[in-house]
Amino acid sequence: MSGKRLSAHPAYTYPDYKSSALRGPGREPVDLGEPGAKQSSGAGLESRASLAGRFKAGELDHDLTRSARRGGEPLGERIAVSGRVLDERGNPVRGALIEVWQANAAGRYRHKADDHDAPVDPNFHGAGRCVTDGEGRYRFLTIQPGAYPWQNHHNAWRPRHIHFSVIGDSPISRLVTQMYFPGDPLLDLDPIFQAVPAAARGRLIAHFDLGLTQPEFALGYHFDIVVAGSGATPRDDHGSSAK
């Protein structure tokens, strides 16, 4: 993949994000050239195998406010998150599988490895999925995630964020990233967000959208995802297990 395509993405290792030193490769990446280019052996790089129509989602998978109820509403501010998934040419990526995972309103994940001293919400499991429509659109209804402490450095707190995984109609449209919220004061202090080149950081911040806001029910946020090209949404290169 060319340097131009990588320009929006964080380096594999970023000193202020300490665990990236253990996750990042120690050698320079090998440039495989453009997708579909012939290799010296005469074999082409298989990158356009169609995945169209292979993904499904359940009726409530997109609605994290209802999919895990056990007798009550999940706690916190309801939000609607919607946008489009686009390829490097600005065309919609149809039939892409979008998966999200996040902390609850108190800043805790529904995961045994999360030992943050914050309550677990029995009516919210913090994970969902949907499939993009013919215009590349997706939509989730969820709860505003809370900030939470992590042990990267003294008094370290992660900004509010939602993890996104995109599997499009071909292997080259695979993307894992994080979506942040406008006006969060923790963004300037967060090594994961700051690892992204400055010119591309805005692509990770959702925009408040009154048109998506549901009266008396949920605030709306718009977040487009570009899977490749010079305008790509920055990847979470440090691994999807990063909190």
Residues noted as catalytic: 109, 148, 158, 161, 163
Tokens matching residue 69: 């109820």
What is residue 143's three-state secondary structure?
A: strand
Q: What is the spatial distance between Cα 166 and Cα 121, in angstroms, rounded to a whole number?
A: 26
CA 148 to chain CA centroid, nearest Å: 17
What's the CA gap between 173 and 26, in Å, rounded?
Answer: 25
Q: Letter for the amino acid at 125?
A: H
Residue for token pair 């499904």: 56
- Distance between CA 129 and CA 40 in Å, rounded? 40
